Amino acid sequence: MLKSLPIGVFDSGLGGLTVAREIMRNLPMEKIVYFGDTARVPYGSKSGQTIKRYSRQIVRFLKTQEIKAIVVACNTATALAMDEIREEAGGLPVIGVVEPGARAACEASKSGRIGVIATRATIGSHVYSEAIQGIRSDASVIGKACPLLVPLVEEGWIHDKITDEILLRYLDELLEHDIDALILGCTHYPLLRSEIRRLIGDGIRLVNPAYETASELKRLLKEQGLDNDKLRDAGEPYPYRFYVSDEAERFAGFANSVLPVDVKNARIVPIEEF
Ligand code: DGL
């Protein structure tokens, strides 16, 4: 049955687990096949051409897993490769994180002054500004690339003086523009949410595109009659499978610290062959 097939979720590495986490919380009946491109992360400092090629390979791999939809959990891949991903996906429904994030920010902002922090590639693509202005033409969007944040999160330096200083340096510039909403436009940034909140105070709404992406996925599956409405039988296999292109053990360790479920292992896929 189509309804009981898993959803393919992918990211450049570990960060997309923040999106998988929201899907698990919001759509507990759905199965997930997650792919993290841990051998080739980060995407945020790579060219559009490379990100498109990598994304196509990942979609080709996911299609071997009998999935019913694809969630592009990576902001950078959503920003630069959505057309290629859709083309490769054939008829499968595809959702990225940018449109849902933009919508949530438009709802969160009163003044229409919206900040976006993301990787260099995402900011350079202007996708968030375009998506926001498509919804709210009076909005002004101030983007800031924060390339040092991904390695800091990957290193586990979340509650750290150095991370605070770097965050402040990036955020100060945005705060000068008097924003009232800030999009965490990179999969890793929700993991820095409390630090960011502490540094910017309570007056600015923080927008995590992962929440809205999970809600959008729920709507889309229902609309297309693809939502899984059957509870898992006790004898059924574990509903979440994890694949990576490198460092499976490190990935499983990180996944265990982020996800509300126990991740026993991740399998390595030779992604260049797809
Ligand atoms: N997953 C990427 C994103 O959301 C961040 C990590 C990377 O640069 O690959 O933009």
CA 94/CA 90 separation, integer angstroms: 10
Q: Atom 1 (ligand 1): residue with closest C-alpha?
A: 74
Answer yes or no: 186 catalytic: yes
- Quick one: pLDDT at residue 166? 97
- Quick one: pLDDT at residue 31? 95
Going from the Cα of 55 to the center of ligand 1, the distance in angstroms, rounded, reads 12
Going from the Cα of 117 to the center of ligand 1, the distance in angstroms, rounded, reads 12
- Architecture label for domain 2-96+211-273: 3-Layer(aba) Sandwich (3.40)
- Quick one: pLDDT at residue 150? 94
Ligand 1 proximity of 78 Cβ (cutoff 6 Å): no
Alpha helix stretches (DSSP H) within the chain: 17-26, 48-63, 75-89, 98-108, 120-125, 127-135, 149-154, 161-175, 193-200, 209-223, 248-258
CA 157/CA 151 separation, integer angstroms: 9
Ligand 1 proximity of 76 Cβ (cutoff 6 Å): yes
Ligand 1 proximity of 133 Cβ (cutoff 6 Å): no
> What's the DSSP call for residue 122?
H
Choosing from 23, 59, 74, 152, the catalytic residue is 74
Under a CB-based contact definition with an 8 Å cutoff, are residues 18 and 210 in contact? yes
SS3 93: coil
- Quick one: pLDDT at residue 53? 98
pTM, rounded to two decimals: 0.95
Answer yes or no: 106 catalytic: no
Going from the Cα of 233 to the center of ligand 1, the distance in angstroms, rounded, reads 36
- Quick one: pLDDT at residue 234? 67
Among 37, 41, 189, residue to substitute to test ligand 1 (most atoms within 8 Å of Cβ): 41
- The mean pLDDT values, 10 residues at a time, for the chain of 274 residues are 93 95 95 97 96 98 97 98 98 97 97 97 97 96 96 91 97 94 97 96 96 96 93 77 96 93 94 97
Ligand 1 proximity of 189 Cβ (cutoff 6 Å): no
- The separation between CA 58 and the C-alpha centre of its own chain, rounded to angstroms, equals 15
- Architecture label for domain 98-209: 3-Layer(aba) Sandwich (3.40)
- Quick one: pLDDT at residue 229? 83
Q: How far is CA 78 from CA 17, 111, 147, 257, in A?
A: 15, 27, 17, 25
CA 214/CA 24 separation, integer angstroms: 9
Ligand 1 proximity of 187 Cβ (cutoff 6 Å): yes
Domain range annotation of the chain: 2-96+211-273, 98-209
Query: Does the fold of domain 98-209 match that of domain 2-96+211-273?
Result: yes
